[in-house]
Amino acid sequence: MGRAFHETLRAAFQEIAKSADGRKRAVIDASRSVDDVARLKDEIEGDILLHGSNTLVHGLLERDLVDVLRLMIFPVILGIGKRIFPDDLDDKIVFELTDHRQYGSIVVHDYTRQGR
């Protein structure tokens, strides 16, 4: 697992694109990130993992580019925060729970897009 993780292509989504640091990375300008993810999805085999950008997830959901959602639930109540899912999607997107795991108080849910 560790070797595969380190040899996997990584992409950095930034407000302003900068040059990569020599490791296998793609630097993607945040203003064009959804288009770049669509291009990567056509160009590479395997999974594309995205961590921590609800703005990018909104765009990917709107463009029908999300096949699997892995939601990690940490039981901390902050009172405010950004929404994971956009309010203004044109069509309902249906995912089904395909796996779940628990690590102490953290729960991980895997959801797969129906029909994929």
Domains located in the chain, CATH noted:
1-49 (no CATH), 50-116 (3.40.430.10)
What is the distance, to the nearest Å, from the Cα of residue 38 to the centroid of all Cα atoms in its chain?
A: 12
Q: Tell me the per-residue pLDDT of 57-104, one tens digit each, with 9 for 90 and over.
A: 888 888 888 888 888 888 887 777 777 777 777 778 889 999 999 999
- pLDDT for 105: 94
CB atoms within 10 A of CB 37: 22
- pLDDT for 1: 47
C-beta of residue 73 within 8 angstroms of C-beta of residue 111: no
- pLDDT for 49: 77
In degrees and rounded to multiples of 5, residue 30 shows phi and psi of -60, -30
pTM over 0.85: no
Q: Tell me the per-residue pLDDT of 6-62, one tens digit each, with 9 for 90 and over.
A: 666 666 665 444 455 555 555 666 556 788 888 888 887 877 777 767 778 888 888
Percent of the chain with pLDDT over 70: 71
